Amino acid sequence: MPEIRLETTDTMAEKTLKIATIPGDGTGPEVTAEAVKVLEGVAAIEGFVADVETLDWGGDRYLATGEIIPEGGLDLLRTKDAVFLGAIGHPDVAPGILEKGLLLDLRFQLDQYINLRPVKLLPGVETPLAGRGPDDIDFVVVRENTEDLYCGVGGFLKKGTPDEVAVQQAIYTRKGCERCIRWAFEYTRQRNSPKKTLTLVAKTNVLTFGHDLWWRTFQEVARDYPDVKTDYNHVDACCMWMVKNPEAYDVIVTTNMFGDIITDLGGILQGGMGVAAGGNLNPDPGGVSMFEPMGGSAPKYKGTDQINPIAAINAMGMLLEHSGQPAAAARIDRAVAHVTGTKMKSQAAGKMGYGTKAVGDLVVEALS
């Protein structure tokens, strides 16, 4: 009967996850390969199909063709359930070109307005904070991802003369901050930690226009979430508290530029770029999100089998968490914690006690 056939087709479709990978530059392809290996392992166990399309976007393609995102590229990404980005940054391409032309362009064009960056110290991972362990460092930064100083508005006057003027504008919109703040409240509610606290991080004592808009919006949205406690830190104080009392944080919501800076601090608290991962989310219906290890392309380690793939594997876990496969994500989290906790000597490239591929194999082995 036609009804039955339709139902079968729907179920099949639900079980196929369409993913585009952009392995990118430097060590990006190596860590992406390990993340995909783990994806295939977990898909087999959890019973879904990962349909992976690999895109050659990045420095080499740009040098060969002059093109960063090829024509039709965005439309192709819009047909996917999620995107995985390895790393961008090429020694022969001037700084800023690939960052703006690929990473920032994708964030903006796909309207990925949340940058979600967990700061979680895994078992066996060393933090530079003396006397701190996994119980102390477990919070999440929700970074606004499409506005602020990142909007690219500005210009020069009298460029190259002694009277030169440079203007770089920060733009904040009610819509932009409200959708981010609201998402952060929802996330804090769902995370449901004993602290259940959302902290706004900004600089209201100096940025008396833009961050006043954030402050007022935060207070208004908070009324819809009486079960979530709220707090506020100036960004400079936040840097201090993250080091002094990281256990006090649950979820932080912040502006794009400050979020960029404090998540590097967060990254090092959780053991460095070898483990830190993030997601650029478009949580709207039909939105396409992109997941990435936070570290760069580390060209000096390219092709040496020394780079740590854990951050990329964590990013793949986040991708699954946000693509309707929470059980698979939890399985990856457990496997990674097992490998960092009982196998790896260090999270630093070249000091792991294993090569890149061997670490990927250990995670795959620990999945079941």
Does 104 bind ligand IPM (CB under 6 A)? Our answer is yes
At 27, which amino acid appears?
A: T
> Alpha helix (H) ranges present in 47-87?
59-65, 73-78
> Is 236 annotated in the active site?
yes
Instruction: Supply the minimum distance, in Å, between the C-beta of residue 238 and Mn ion.
Output: 16
Instruction: Supply the minimum distance, in Å, between the C-beta of residue 260 and Mn ion.
Output: 4
Does 60 bind ligand IPM (CB under 6 A)? Our answer is no
3 state DSSP class of 167: strand
Instruction: Supply the minimum distance, in Å, between the C-beta of residue 104 and ligand IPM.
Output: 6
> Is 150 annotated in the active site?
yes
Closest CA to 243 of 325, 346, 159, 127: 127
State the binding partner of 81 from ligand IPM, Mn ion, none, CB within 5 to 8 A by kind: none
Indicate which residue of 56, 236, 244, 351 is catalytic.
Answer: 236
> Is 10 annotated in the active site?
no
3-state helix/strand/coil string of 96-158: CHHHHHHHHHHHHHCCCCEEEEEEECCCCCCCCCCCCCCCCCEEEEEEECCCEEEEEEEEEEC
Q: What does the block give as tokens for 72? A: 């039709």
State the binding partner of 147 from ligand IPM, Mn ion, none, CB within 5 to 8 A by kind: none
Distances (CA, A) of 303 to 33, 95, 246, 298: 12, 22, 36, 10
Instruction: Supply the minimum distance, in Å, between the C-beta of residue 167 and Mn ion.
Output: 23
Instruction: Supply the minimum distance, in Å, between the C-beta of residue 319 and ligand IPM.
Output: 16
Does 265 bind ligand IPM (CB under 6 A)? Our answer is no
Selected binder of ligand IPM within 138, 147, 250, 260 (CB under 6 A): 260
State the binding partner of 104 from Mn ion, ligand IPM, none, CB within 5 to 8 A by kind: ligand IPM
Q: Which stretch binds Mn ion (CB under 5 A): 121-129, 214-222, 240-248, 252-260?
A: 252-260
Q: Which stretch binds ligand IPM (CB under 6 A): 55-63, 96-104, 232-240, 305-313?
A: 96-104
Does 148 bind Mn ion (CB under 5 A)? Our answer is no
State the binding partner of 186 from Mn ion, ligand IPM, none, CB within 5 to 8 A by kind: none
Q: Which residues in 210-249 contact Mn ion (CB under 5 A)?
A: none
Does 99 bind ligand IPM (CB under 6 A)? Our answer is yes
State the binding partner of 103 from ligand IPM, Mn ion, none, CB within 5 to 8 A by kind: ligand IPM
Does 260 bind Mn ion (CB under 5 A)? Our answer is yes
Closest CA to 315 of 336, 287, 343: 336
DSSP 226-280: TTSEEEEEEHHHHHHHHHH-GGG-SEEEE-HHHHHHHHHHHHHHTT-TTT-EEEE
Q: What does the block give as tokens for 80? A: 């996917």
Closest CA to 297 of 69, 102, 90, 60: 90
Instruction: Supply the minimum distance, in Å, between the C-beta of residue 198 and ligand IPM.
Output: 21
CB closest to Mn ion, residue no: 260
Nearer to ligand IPM, 144 or 260 (CB): 260
Q: Determine the number of helices (DSSP H) and then strands (DSSP E) in the chain.
A: 13, 12
Instruction: Supply the minimum distance, in Å, between the C-beta of residue 100 and ligand IPM.
Output: 7
Q: Which stretch binds ligand IPM (CB under 6 A): 27-35, 98-106, 227-235, 246-254?
A: 98-106
Q: What does the block give as tokens for 252? A: 């932080």
Does 30 bind Mn ion (CB under 5 A)? Our answer is no
Size of the site for ligand IPM (CB under 6 A): 4
Residue 261 C-alpha from the chain's centroid: 14
**Cβ proximity of 279 and 219 under 8 Å:** no
Indicate which residue of 120, 203, 249, 250 is catalytic.
Answer: 203
Q: Strand pairing partners for 290? A: 83, 280
DSSP state, residue 299: G
- Residues 23, 86: Cα–Cα separation, whole Å: 4
Catalytic residues: 150, 203, 236, 260, 264
Residues found near Mn ion in the complex (CB under 5 A): 260
Residues found near ligand IPM in the complex (CB under 6 A): 99, 103-104, 260
